[in-house]
Structure formats: structure tokens, C-alpha cells
Amino acid sequence: MANFSAAERPSFIQKLEKETFDLLIIGGGITGAGIALDAVSRGLTVALVEKHDFGAGTSSRSTKLIHGGLRYLKQLEFGIVREVGRERTILYKNAPHVVIPEKMLLPIIKGGSLGKKSTSLGLFVYDLLAGVKRSERRYMLNKEETLQKEPLLKNDILLGGGMYIEYRSDDARLVIEVMKTAFNKGATCLNYASCEQLSYNQEGKISGAIIKDTLQNRTFEIKAKNIINACGPWVDTIRGIDNSLKGKRLHLTKGVHVVIPKRRLPIQQSVYFDIPKDGRMMFAIPRGEVVYLGTTDTNYKQNINKPFADINDVEYVLSATNFMFPDAQLERKDVLSSWAGLRPLIHEDGKSPSDLSRKDEIFISDTGLISIAGGKLTGFRKMAQRSVDVVCKNLQNEGRKFKKCSTHHIPLSGGEGLDGEAGVAKLVEDLSVRFNSIAKDKITELVGKFGSNTEIILKDAVEKYLDHPNNVLIAEASYCLNHEMTNSIGDFLVRRTGRLYFERPSIEVELTPLTEFFKNTLQYSEDMSSKFDKDFMEEYKGVINF
């Protein structure tokens, strides 16, 4: 079987041109990836196209939490709390290398949106509905205990706190692990392949799509019996191409996160805190040597393809953080990086961005185009199940039978054989013994990204690339290129490894050896190489350009 490698593109395109698929998915974010895995594991033939890189849309720009659904409790959406709570448990079981339990402190303040009793009751109901295991249930703290946990909190308004568990992820890594799993089961997934037009049969029903391979600048047709539009913020663009943009529409809101050095806000755990001036809440989440802060929630009507943080977003986030952690006195010059994402929400008249529901919805047009919008990273598996149920029903009309959804039992790539946190720790120990020339911290970092696949990287580092001065880095890049469809330096530094967001200063040192490796290995034309370099530099500068 072919690798999920950039070098295999021509053979994937050949297959896409030749077959008629049961299902074509447009959009390679978490929604599309989840649908591909669900459908292929039920026995459908599946194709997926993504116009940029996998996860390049909203799915690499979120708060990166696998939520238990606390915010839904505030809106009394009990069904969603139950569903996302269960989903969180399933994801942790299937991919413990990228879904990690994270202690979260919820400070209770004078004038805040939550009182002591309501927080205690709320978190209790949340534990119950979300099926939180006993060892991870909430406990309440008085003011002194809260300050002990987090001495930097604003003392004069603090009343106490609640401690509970959220799960931290890396959204873009989650997308690629789901995509790889779908590919390993037989789905044909292609990035840098944009849907430009839809094709229809004589009855006016959807029968395929015209795709542009943006790396080779040529178009081809994929024939499919069903098409799901999983384009996130671009869902309405595809509905427009289908001439079916009527009734409910998307409402895009922008959410920004900023990254600061941890020494400027040395918090002990993640904190989910009130912003009294507008009644919203914000996260401060430590990750390695940095802390990321966010998010904003503002209506968005500019260019969907390139959302960036602007100075107003950054000042809002810094001022809310300075209010809750007054000694930090964060300034614009502390910002190391940032990202901005667009929430593809469903419009409801008269509602403010923060009040719009995060529920997902499926629309089916007269031509048969199935569009799925709304939802959350956390709920992607159930969104996939609901969408594929629709497709299976269509195909069953042809007399075919399919298996039921089984994705709750499918370990994601890198998660195979790992039993929770203990399994991940054991893997790190084993690899550190076997590859003792490589620092244990580095192995821990790699396992947190690639799980059980780290072994392939370490082997290459000590065998194939031993003589290279950056052997581990190049082995990591080589894995991403040969097993994760990485086509450019931007794919690697932004989505496969998150370095642009969390380790931006390290890029200065790594850029030259990486650029050389990508150029030599991928052998793109000069034009294509300089386009990729230019695109990356635009992002590299854009994340601190305010």
C-alpha cells in the first residue's frame, strides 16, 4: 500500500480521476477528516479534497480544547453537554497522545458571571452529565486555597475557585491523525486540490466535481454518487456554486489567540476567567515555554482566506488578562505569536456572536448536495456519524448495505496500543532507553505530536540522517513529508508541528536546513518553491504584525 506521502500525489490523482466514488468530501478540516474516517470504515469508497493544506482553515486555529461542554450548561443545552462529555472520553481512549487531561482553574470573582454556589452546582451537574470519571471530578476552593493554586490572580475581587478537568489537544495534529487513519483504511485524500465547480447528471442531481490541483495548475473531474460539503467557513461558497444558498446561512465570527512567554505569566495550570466588562470568559493555557490567551468573538466580514489578529484583538486579550493578573502588565511587545480563526456558526436573527448556538446542522439541497455546518472540534465524530448516516440511506436505496458507525472503537494513527496517560509515559520511557543518544525531552515532545509513530522518526534520526547536523529535525520533517502529505515548509512549521505558534523564535535557526531539505526532496519548480517560501514568510510575519 502507498504511503500518505507528497511523492504519491500523481497516483492519488490518477485514482481520483478513474473511479466513481460513493462519497466525495469537499474540505479537509476536522469535519471532513471525521466524515472520511466514518465513511471508509463503514465500507464506502471515499475521496476527499482540500484546497489548501489539511487543517488549514478553522481546524488549526481553535482554542485547542476537547471540551466537556461547560459553556453549554450555562445555556441549558444538557443534551450537548452529555454528548461532548462522552466524545471527550472516546477521543482520549483513541488518541491519548494528542488529547491530554488538563487541570483548569475557574476563579470566582465579585461581579463575575458565576457565584460560588452556582459554580459548585454547575460543575457538579457537568460532571454528572458529561460522565466525568471519579478521579477527575470537580472540587471547590476557598479564596486562600485558590490563591495558593494561582498566586497571580487579582486578590481584591477573588472569592474562591473551582477546579475541574478539561482536555488539551493540538487541533491540526488531530486532523492529520484522523486523516491518516482514514487513508490507511482506504480513503483517497488530497490536499492542494480545490473544488471549483460541481457536475450534475441529466436529472439535475449532483454527480461529481471539477477539482483544481493547485500544485500542478491543472483541473480534473471526480465522479461521486454523494458529495458532502464540509468547508467550514466556506460552506456557503460551495452552496453558492450549487445555486442552493437559500434559507439558513453562515454567520462567521473571528476568534483570536495570542502567545506570550510563560515567564511573563508563570501560571501553574490553565485558568478560565471572567471578563467583567463584557460578561465573556477567556482562557490562559500554559504549553511548554509559552502561555496562550484567548479568545475574542467578533463578527467577521473580511477575507475568509487569510484571517489575522489585528491590534484591537490583541489589546482586548491583553487588557482582559492584565485585569485578572494585574502584576503581569503584559504589553504588545510581549506577544511572540498569534492566530485567528473563523467560527462557521449558523445565523440567528438578533443574537450576538457569543450567544449564537455552536450546534451543527445538515442542509440537503435539491441537487442532493449535503452541507454540514456549525459544531465543534470536540463533536466531530458525531457530526461525521450523522452525515454518513444520510449518505448510507441514499446508497441503501440502491440496495446496498453498510456497517454501523464504529469510529468509537477505532484508535487514531499514533494512538494504537497506547492506554491513556500511563501508556504515553511508558512509550516515552521505552523509546528513551532504545534511542538513548536523543534527549528524553525531545522524545517526550515528539511523542506528544506523533504518538507511537515517533519510533519511525527516531530510527531515521539515528540511521538515515545520523550525519546530518540537524538529524532529529530532518527525520521529523521526513516523516511528515512521507507519511503526512506535507508539501511545503509552511505545512510543516504551522500545522504538523505548531512551531509557528508555540516556538516561533526557534524557526530562525531551523529555517535554512529545513528549506534545503524540502527543496531537495520535493523537487518543485523554482516558481513553486518560491511561492511556498513567500506564503510561509507572509504567515511568519503576519502573526506579529499589529
Among 31, 181, 270, 337, binds ligand FAD (CB under 6 A): 31
Give the type of residue at 82: R
| Residue type (1 letter), 337 | S
The least CB distance from residue 277 to ligand FAD, in Å, is 20
Q: Residue 411 Cβ, how far from ligand FAD at the closest point, in Å?
A: 20
| Nearest distance from C-beta of residue 512 to ligand FAD, angstroms | 29
Residue among 6, 16, 23, 29 that touches ligand FAD (CB under 6 A): 29
Which has the closest alpha carbon to 51: 17, 20, 14, 26? Answer: 26
CA distances (Å), origin 29, targets 181, 313, 334, 341: 14, 24, 31, 12
Q: Does 188 bind ligand FAD (CB under 6 A)?
A: no
Minimum CB separation of residue 235 from ligand FAD in Å reads 8
CB-based contacts of 251: which residues, under 8 Å, 6+ apart?
Answer: 299, 345, 346, 347, 348, 353, 356
Q: Which helix (H) or strand (E) element contains residue 541?
A: helix 526-542
Q: Is 255 in the site for ligand FAD (CB under 6 A)?
A: yes
User: Can you point out the beta strands (E) in 266-346?
Assistant: 270-275, 280-287, 290-294, 298-299, 337-346
Query: Which of 86, 376, 381, 483: binder of ligand FAD (CB under 6 A)?
Result: 376
Report the residue number, 402 or 492, with the smaller CB distance to ligand FAD. Answer: 492
Distance CA 244, CA 263 (A): 52
Restricted to residues 314-343, the positions that interact with ligand FAD (CB under 6 A) are 341-343
Output the smallest distance, CB 372 to ligand FAD, in A.
7
Contact status: 49 vs ligand FAD (CB under 6 A): yes
What burial letters (b/e) apply to 55-76, b meaning 16+ CB within 10 Å? bbbbbbbbbbbbbbbbebbeee
- In whole angstroms, the minimum distance from the beta carbon of 22 to ligand FAD comes to 19
Q: Mask: binding to ligand FAD, 213-252, rule CB under 6 A, as x and -?
A: -----------------xxxxx------------------
Question: In the complex, what is the shortest distance from the CB of residue 363 to ligand FAD, in angstroms, rounded to a whole number?
Answer: 14
By the rule CB under 6 A, 65 interacts with ligand FAD: yes
Stretch of 57-65, 156-164, 328-336, 385-393 contacting ligand FAD, by CB under 6 A: 57-65
Report the alpha-carbon distance of residue 247 to residue 308 in Å, rounded. 30
Instruction: List 293's β-bridge partners, or say none.
Output: 258, 284
Is 61 in contact with 543 (CB distance < 8 Å)? no
Q: Does position 146 bind ligand FAD by CB under 6 A?
A: no
Q: Which is nearer to ligand FAD, 256 or 458 (CB)?
A: 256
Say how many residues make up the chain: 546
> Which window, 43-51, 102-110, 346-354, 461-469, contacts ligand FAD (CB under 6 A)?
43-51
The label of the residue with cell 507572509 reads 538
Residues 147 and 143: their CA atoms lie apart, in Å, by: 6
Amino acid at 115: G
Binding of residue 67 to ligand FAD (CB under 6 A): yes
Instruction: Check residue 30 for interaction with ligand FAD (CB under 6 A).
Output: yes
28 makes contact with ligand FAD (CB under 6 A):
yes
Residue of 94, 244, 365, 378 interacting with ligand FAD (CB under 6 A): 378
Torsion angles phi and psi, residue 517, rounded to 5: -60, -45
- CB-based contact 198:206 (threshold 8 Å): yes
* Shortest Cβ 339–ligand FAD spacing (Å): 8
> How far is 139 from 133, CA to CA, in rounded Å?
13
Residue 437: CB minimum distance to ligand FAD, A: 37
Nearer to ligand FAD, 107 or 374 (CB): 374
Sole window of 51-59, 96-104, 181-189, 216-224 interacting with ligand FAD (rule: CB under 6 A): 51-59
| Residue 479 · residue 497 · CB < 8 Å | no
Give the interface segment with ligand FAD, choosing from 49-57, 119-127, 178-186, 197-205 (CB under 6 A). Answer: 49-57
Residues touching ligand FAD, count (CB under 6 A): 38
The vertex-162 CA angle with 357 and 114, nearest 5°, equals 50
- Please identify, among the stretches 146-154, 266-274, 376-384, 495-503, the one whose residues bind ligand FAD according to the rule CB under 6 A: 376-384
- For the bound state, the minimum distance from the C-beta of residue 360 to ligand FAD, rounded and expressed in Å, comes to 8
Which of residues 197 and 545 has its CB atom nearest to ligand FAD in the complex? 197
Selected from 13, 25, 32, 127, the binder of ligand FAD by CB under 6 A is: 32
Separation of alpha carbons 465 and 460, rounded Å: 6
Check binding of 377 to ligand FAD (CB under 6 A): yes
Per-residue DSSP letters for 445-494? HHHHHHGGGHHHHHHHHHTTTTTSTTHHHHHHHHHHHHHS---SHHIIII
Give the footprint of ligand FAD on this chain (CB under 6 A).
26-32, 49-52, 56-59, 61-65, 67, 194-195, 230-234, 255, 295, 341-344, 375-378
